[in-house]
Structure 1
C-alpha cells in the first residue's frame, strides 16, 4: 500500500465514531474515552481537536522490532526519536522560573518505556557543569535551563540495565566547551559499559554490525555529537560522518519537499549509512501537533524516501510523540520497519525471524 493511501486509511480509521460505550481497559483504537484507564494496553486517552471532538484512544506505545528479528544490521531498523527529549512537562523547575517552551509530555524514562529509542539532547556548559538547556543568544540561562545532563543520562543507564536487549541512540547538539566534560559525564553516569565504539562505525556506507551482535557485546549505547573535534579528543562520534538529516523546524515543513540540513551531506549520499528525518515545527503547540504526527508525517517520509536515494528513514524525530489522530508516529515507524525488515507495509506483516521480503497476509501470522 503506498504511503499516501496508507495515510488516508490511518486517518479515516482513527476518526471513526465509537460504535459502543466502553471503559475499564476495553476501549479500542479510535473509541471515545475519559481517561487512560479506559483504553486497551498500548493506547492513551488524548484529544486532537483538528480531527475529532473530545478524547479518543490513540496509540502511545511502539512495537519492539527486535522481537520480530534482531539478526539484521543496525541500519536496517527504524527508531522513534524525540526532539528535545529533555524539555518535557514532567521535569520540575531547577533554577526558579523557566520561561521557555517544552517539546514532550513524558519524562525521559517514560519515553523509553513507551518505545522511544533515540533522544535528542542539547548540552551546555552552565553553573560549572553540563546542563540540558534551550539556547538564548547561544547560551544557557536560568530561564531556559532544564536540568543537569547527568540526571537524564542516569535514566538512560537505568533503562539499559533493566532492558538488556535494547539499544538507545543519543544525538547531542553539543555546546560544551570544557575539555573532556562530556566523556567524564558518560563515565560518571555509568554508561561507558554500554558504549558503542567509534572504531566499529562504518565510514563508507557499509552496513553497521548486526543488532544481535551489538546486544551480545553489550555495545548498546550509540552516541553522536555535533562537535567534530570530540571524535578525536573524546571518542564521541561526529554525527555528520555517519548520518544524513533533513532540515528541521518550519524551514523543513514544505509539502512535497525534503531538503537537507545545512550541516548534513546530501540526503542521497550513501557513504552515510543512517538517515534521520525531522518532522516538527519550530514552536511546539500541543493541540496542533497531532495533525503533524499523522497523515502529514507519512507523506513526509514518502517524500524523503525518494530524496534519500530510495532509503527509508532510520530515525524519525517529532515533538509530543504521543499526540496524533490515531496510530500516529507509532504506525509510521511500523511502516518504516516493515519496509526495512522485510519489504512489507507494516512490521507486523513481517514473519518473525525473516530478513527478506516475506510478508504474512494477516498481522501476527
Structure 2
C-alpha cells in the first residue's frame, strides 16, 4: 500500500530533465541481457528505432511493424531483420549496415548499462553502435555509426515487439500513470459553447458537443488554446480576431470545477496551448470559484521521489484537477513569474507527447509515433523516464483538419495504433488518448481496452 505523499516542493528545468534521462544508473538483475525474441533496437538518446534502409542502418521514427524496424535477437547474439531473413544488424567499417547473419561483422556483445539500457559492442573492442554526433542547430543524423564516442548516444533499449503486460490493479490501487483517459483535442472548438475561430475556420469544429456534455460523456482530458485579449485569457483557434462570442478560459474551467465537486471520484486534466502572459493566466484562474480546492500540485507532493499517487489518494485529498501549460519555463523566468507558482505545471517537465499531426484532413495518415519535442533545439524522447518517476504519456491521434468522416475512421483505429505503434515507441502505456470528434469511431473502447492492463 502506498503511503500518502508528503507536501514537498520540487522544481526542475528541461535541461535538468534531459541530464537525468541520460545519467547512468546502477545495473540490476532486471537489466540482464534479454532472451531471444523480437525487439525494436531503440535509441535511449532520441527514442528512434534502428531500421534497415536498403542495407544501411538508420534511426527512423517508430512505425511498428512497418519500415523494417523489427529485429529478432538470436541465441548467438546476432539481430536478424524480420523483414529480411538472413540479414542481420552489423557494420562495415564505421557505418552500421545489414550484413549476412553468418558474417563476423554481425556479432555484438550486449552489455547492460542500467535503466534497462544496453550497449552493442564489437566483440574484443571498445567500438559500439551509436547515434552520430548532433551538428549544431540540427537533429542527430539518421545513419547510425560504430564508434568510440560518449556513453549516452551508445545506449539502446531492446523493446519487445510483444511486451508482457499485467492485469490492471484494483480500482483503489491504480496509480495515475497506470490509467488512460479519453481526451478531446481542441475541446473548446465545438461550436456549441460559443465562437472559437475566425470565419471559415469555424466551419470545421474539432468537437461537436459542448464542454458540459463532454464531461458527461466521459471525456477527462481537455486540450484548450488560450490567447490574450483585453478581457483576459480567451479560448480561440490561432487568433481571436473576428471570433463571435468567444469563451473565456475561466468559464470552461468553472464548468470542470463544478463537475468535479459533484463527482468527487473523478479526475480531469487540462492541457493549455498557451499564448498569454503568466500574470494574465494567474488572474484568469483567480476568477474560478473553488479552483484551489480541487487543484492537484504534483510539484508539491513528492511525485518525482515517490512516483504518481493512486487515483484513490487523489480523490481522498480532493485533488482532482491537473493543469499543464506548453509554455516555456525559461521564458516565464524572464518575465519574472513562473506558472507553477500558481499551480500550472510545465508540461515538458511532467509528460511526454508524440507529434501532434497524422497528416492532412483527408488521404493516407502517418502513424509513426515520435516525440513532439525532438527537434533542433529540444530532445525529450518519448522514452524519457527517471528513477522512481515515469512521465505521463499524451498520445495525439488526429489530423491537421478535423473532417468528420476522416476522424470517425481514424478513431476506430485508435486502439490498434496505440498497441502496435505508440506503446512500444514510448515504452509506456498512453495516459491520454487525444482525438477529434470523440463521439465518432468509438475511441472510448480504446480507452477501456488500455485500462484492462499495465505495461511494466
> When the two structures are superposed, what TM-score results if normalisation uses the length of structure 2?
0.54
Q: CA RMSD in A?
A: 2.8
Q: CA deviation at 1:298?
A: 2.0
Structure 1 counterpart of 2:188? 86
Q: Specify whether residues 283 and 255 from structure 1 end up closer, same or farther in structure 2 by C-alpha distance, changes over 3 A only.
A: closer
2:263 to 159, 163, 174: 163
What residue number does 1:25 align with? none
Partner of 1:75, secondary structure, is: helix
Instruction: Give the equivalent residue in structure 2 for 1:131.
Output: 234
Deviations 1:263-317 (A, max 9, x none): 67101111342111000001000122111001255224431111112x1101100
2:368 is the alignment partner of 1:266: no
Q: Is the 8 A contact 1:164 1:215 kept in 2?
A: yes
Output the CA distance in 1 between the equivalents of 2:379 and 2:318: 29
8 Å contact from structure 2 (residues 232, 284) kept in 1 = no
2:448 to 327, 334, 337: 334
| Inter-CA distance 176–303: structure 2 relative to 1 (3 Å threshold) | same
CA-CA distance at 1:216 after TM superposition: 0.8
Question: Which residues in structure 2 correspond to 1:1-365 (within 5 Å)?
Answer: 69-93=171-195, 99-100=201-202, 101-135=204-238, 139-143=239-243, 146-177=246-277, 179-190=278-289, 191-197=291-297, 198-200=299-301, 202-203=303-304, 207-227=307-327, 228=329, 229=332, 230-251=338-359, 255=366, 257-262=368-373, 265-271=380-386, 272-309=390-427, 311-324=428-441, 328-340=442-454
Query: What is the alpha-carbon distance in structure 2 between the residues aligned to residue 77 and residue 143 of structure 1?
Result: 36
Query: Which ranges of structure 1 fall in alignment gaps of 5 or more residues?
Result: 5-65, 344-355, 357-365
- Aligned to 1:105, the other structure's residue is in SS state coil
The DSSP-based 3-state class of the residue aligned with 2:423 is helix
Unaligned runs of 5+ in 2: 1-63, 65-167, 333-337
Higher percent of residues as helix:
1
- The alignment partner of 1:86 has SS state of coil
**Which is bigger in relative contact order (C-alpha 8 A, separation at least 6)?**
1
Tell me how far apart the structure 2 counterparts of residues 307 and 96 of structure 1 sit (CA, whole Å): 37
2:196–2:235 contact (8 Å) kept in structure 1:
no
* TM-score (normalised: structure 1): 0.67
2:186 is paired with a residue of what secondary structure?
Answer: coil
1:67 CA displacement: 12
Deviation at 1:121, TM superposition (A): 0.7
Helix, strand or coil at the partner of 1:212: helix
CA distance in 2, matches of 1:304, 1:96: 34
Q: Is the 8 A contact 1:244 1:264 kept in 2?
A: no
Contact between 1:78 and 1:315, CA under 8 Å: does it hold in 2? yes
Residues 331 and 234 of structure 1, relative CA distance in 2, 3 Å threshold: same
Q: Kindly indicate which of the two structures has a greater share of residues assigned to strand.
A: 2
Larger radius of gyration: 2
Post-superposition CA distance 1:114-154 (Å, at most 9, x none): 1111100111112331100111xxx4312387311121111
Q: Paired residues, what number?
A: 269
Distance 1:156 1:186 in 2: 12
Kept in 2, the 8 Å contact 1:132–1:145? The answer is no
Change (3 A) 1:171 1:94: closer
What are the superposed Cα offsets for residues 94-121 of structure 1, whole Å, 9 maximum, x if unpaired?
8996743310011111111111111001
Please say if residues 71 and 211 of structure 1, whose CA atoms lie closer than 8 Å, have aligned partners that are also in contact. yes
Contact 1:186 1:192 in 2 (8 A): no
